[in-house]
Chain A
């Protein structure tokens, strides 16, 4: 499997974002990492690129609890605007929540590949991005 070009992290926890980005760059899992503080910011970036046929991040890792627009709202919105062409975006929901309700809800989105409980370890990252 070829190296991913761009990974996208949507999370308001700055330390966490710092840590994950560090690990990705360190192990050279992908060429670039985009980070957004909440769903709204992420959509602001993604939506025009979907419409303009521009390249999209291959992997999105989105948190659930964020201000302004949380993970669920982001997923709902993304489902509406997602590309109908061949550009594949793999989405992982990554959260500290261990509530079964959250896990089930995430898995119910067809766009979501899996739900990962924080902290994200090296092995998981490798699997997601490798």
Chain B
């Protein structure tokens, strides 16, 4: 010490020391500048958590003044739920296990509200490697966190809504053909998640053949920009082999640079129940409208036929009043009687028809068809032998069908009788009665070789009431009308094929 230079008041007495001091000063100023004016909250924190130095931004963030903060520690401001994690990281940092840590945590603002911060902490050690102080940077991420939370909530809601609604979701990359099918898409078809692949072909080939054309063309229309949204209803094949109606909706959400569809998002909704009801309703409507037509038609027939006879009665009575001659009166009375009986007969026929129309649950039993044809042949024995008719009974032996016995008798009698009545003058009548099934329907066919019917001319009127075409004196024209009514009442229909001079074939669909 004696030999040292005399200590001056200046603490530094070499230029090098001045230099270091300058550098330190500059560096410190730089640091202070960065610290004070940073847009991020910054703090120097003691290892026990006390705020040693805080910048303005941190004060703004937390709502405290500098003096207030310096009296607190970071633990005072930390949300209890985030404190443990923070402290743990701090311990690791102090222990030298990590060099820094970064966490998202919540702080309480001075006013009690919560702010989210992205915290970055590093440790400064002294020359003895003891923890000196922490350098913390806190970025305000409150806004981002709010958006994140809102997004998460909305996504959860959306997911919930989708799952709750039972809709399947699909996400289709048009260019690669790859499709993501949500589990619900697969579950809708009775498939487990692993039972359907990720290709658009997977769904395409399950579409019902009758619906395929519209399925593809609807999507095409949307791709072409002609529809704003793709909507299509189609049947799709389920695991158990049945078809289910599905409402398919989607929209192209991104396009390739050359304006081809790139990504399509969509949903599948199970509408099988609704569709069933729709089809049933349409069917009911069809039936009702058919019934309505028949009723209207029938009303006209009734009106026409009754008016004819009552009109005649009126006329005759009027004339009777006007004439005085007894002989005349007698003649007129004859006519009156005739009209009265015609009126009666009409009423009877109409009654027959009404009872067919009104009888909703037509009684059916099992009948042996071949046997019935045989019985009809016997009933017509007189006519058959008189005109040397040949009846060919082609009904298979033992064939049993469920039908109303009285109607079957009436139908067979009518058709056979017609066949003989309208025989060809040049040949003996041959009537062939056969049975077959086609497209799931049972058909009774009666073919004759008679004079045939000009269908072009009379086709529409053939089954009308009181329509006769051959001027045949005892053709009252009611027969075919009744037959048609009976056949239709049993749920079938009757058709005729004929050429003039070549006979006729009556096809009666029994079901």
Contacts and interface: CB of A to CB of B under 8 A. Distances in A.
B335 A15 contact: yes
A38 B312 contact: no
**Most chain B CB inside 10 Å of its own CB: which residue of A97, A119, A121:** A119
A65 B466 contact: yes
Contact of A99 (B300, B314, B468, B471): B300
B338 interface: yes
B157 interface: no
Contacts of A118: 307-308, 311
Contacts of A68: 468-471
**Most chain A CB inside 10 Å of its own CB: which residue of B304, B314, B338, B342:** B304
A68 B342 CA distance: 21
A96 interface: yes
A54 interface: no
**Most chain A CB inside 10 Å of its own CB: which residue of B300, B312, B314, B477:** B312
Interface in B319-370: 319, 322-323, 335, 338-339, 342
B319 A22 contact: yes
Interface in A77-101: 95-99
Interface string B276-300: 0000000000000000000000001
Contacts of B342: 15
Determine the interface band of chain A, counting residues with CB < 8 A from chain B: 20 to 34
Contact of A119 (B303, B305, B315, B322): B315
B459 to A, nearest CB: 13
Contact of B469 (A20, A26, A67, A120): A67
Nearest to A37: B471
Given A19-B319, A38-B471, A96 B338 contact: no
Contacts of A19: 312, 315-316, 319, 335
**Most chain A CB inside 10 Å of its own CB: which residue of B308, B339, B475:** B308
Given A65-B467, A119-B314, A96 B323 contact: no
B470 A67 contact: yes
A47 to B, nearest CB: 19
A118 B316 CA distance: 13
B471 A98 contact: no
Nearest to B466: A65
Nearest to B328: A22
Given A26-B322, A96-B308, A118-B308, A20 B315 contact: yes
A48 B272 CA distance: 70
A122 interface: yes
A35 to B, nearest CB: 15
B318 interface: yes
A78 B204 CA distance: 63
Nearest to A65: B466
Determine the interface band of chain B, counting residues with CB < 8 A from chain A: 20 to 34
A6 B305 CA distance: 29
A13 interface: yes
A23 B319 contact: yes
B312 A119 contact: yes
A94 to B, nearest CB: 10
A119 B311 contact: yes
Given A16-B311, A96-B307, A97-B304, A122 B318 contact: yes
Given A15-B339, A18-B335, A119-B311, A96 B305 contact: yes
**Most chain A CB inside 10 Å of its own CB: which residue of B468, B471, B477:** B471
A13 B308 contact: yes
Interface in A1-53: 13, 15-16, 18-20, 22-23, 26, 37-38
A96 B304 contact: yes
Interface string B452-489: 00000100010000111111000101000000000000
A26 B335 CA distance: 17
A73 B454 CA distance: 14
B322 A120 contact: no
Given A67-B468, A67-B469, A68-B470, A120 B315 contact: yes
Given A15-B335, A22-B319, A26-B323, A67 B467 contact: yes
Contacts of A98: 300, 303-304, 307
A13 B466 CA distance: 12
A73 B468 CA distance: 14
B311 A67 contact: no
A15 B319 contact: no
A15 B316 contact: yes
Contacts of A18: 335
Contacts of B475: 67
A46 to B, nearest CB: 18
Interface of B: 300, 303-305, 307-308, 310-312, 314-316, 318-319, 322-323, 335, 338-339, 342, 457, 461, 466-471, 475, 477
Given A96-B305, A98-B304, 9 more contacts: A15-B339, A16-B311, A19-B319, A22-B319, A65-B467, A67-B468, A67-B470, A96-B308, A119-B310
27 contacts: A13-B308, A15-B312, A15-B316, A16-B308, A16-B311, A16-B312, A16-B315, A19-B312, A19-B316, A20-B315, A22-B319, A26-B323, A37-B471, A38-B471, A65-B466, A67-B468, A67-B470, A67-B471, A67-B475, A68-B470, A73-B457, A96-B305, A98-B303, A99-B300, A118-B307, A119-B311, A119-B315
Interface of A: 13, 15-16, 18-20, 22-23, 26, 37-38, 65, 67-68, 70, 73, 95-99, 117-122
